[in-house]
Amino acid sequence: MAELPTSARRVAEALTVAGVTTTIVVFEHAVPTSAAAAAAVGCDVGQIAKSLVFRLRDSGRPLLVIASGANRVDEAKVGALIGEPIGRADADFVRTHTGFAIGGVAPLAHPSPITTLIDEDLMKWEAIWAAGGHPHTVFRVTPEELRRIAGGRVAEVRAGGRRGAGAPPSEASESNKS
């Protein structure tokens, strides 16, 4: 196994302190998209916990939304949940507030606490995969462990009303099977 990058070692230490037993997996190449990460670990794209950082428009504070890789985030819905409109954050803002580069933002080990929302669709899986602090790293956790280590509130953040994309096989309807 490849040596952990410095930022991933910070995540590994935070996971240990939080009492989470897992291994940070290091890939030879970056896994910049949810689809690439899912293919690399052999899971459904819905099991990828993508960390998206937004800037709250009024206060300028960061917001972390941990969304299922199968979903797009509804920014208006999230703004309503937070009570403040949100906007995209640039790479410098993301690194300043999380300590990580875009593509490797972990759900923990940030320089200071960040208000966090977790996509309710992640909670249906037995296991999910999150970025390990570097674009070449991921780690496996349970949804409940993710909620605990991220300190987030579980909420409906997905755009559109359709559920089912990325649903665990046991929850798929018979009509979806071929």
* Distance, CA of 101 to CA of 91 (rounded, Å): 7
Lowest mean pLDDT among 24-33, 76-85, 112-121: 24-33
Q: Are 1 and 26 in contact (CB under 8 A)?
A: yes
Decide if pLDDT at 173 tops 60: no
Q: Are 104 and 134 in contact (CB under 8 A)?
A: yes
pLDDT bracket for residue 15 (50, 70, 90):
very high
Q: Are 76 and 177 in contact (CB under 8 A)?
A: no
> pLDDT at position 32, please?
84
> pLDDT at position 3, please?
85
Reference 47, options 118, 125, 106, 131; nearest CA is: 125
The residue extents of the domains of the chain are 6-160
Lowest mean pLDDT among 10-14, 108-112, 157-161: 157-161
* Distance, CA of 156 to CA of 159 (rounded, Å): 9
Q: Are 130 and 98 in contact (CB under 8 A)?
A: no
Mean pLDDT computed over 126-148: 97
Q: Please, what is the average pLDDT of the chain?
A: 90
Residue 112, judged by CB atoms within 10 A of its CB (0-12, 13-18, 19+), counts as: exposed
For 93-110, the pLDDT digits (tens) are: 999 999 999 999 999 999
Reference 27, options 129, 150, 143; nearest CA is: 129
> pLDDT at position 165, please?
46
- Range 6-160 has CATH code 3.20.20.70: no
* Distance, CA of 125 to CA of 70 (rounded, Å): 13
For 36-58, the pLDDT digits (tens) are: 999 999 999 999 999 999 999 99
Higher pLDDT, 168 or 157: 157
Mean pLDDT computed over 79-85: 97
Decide if pLDDT at 172 tops 80: no
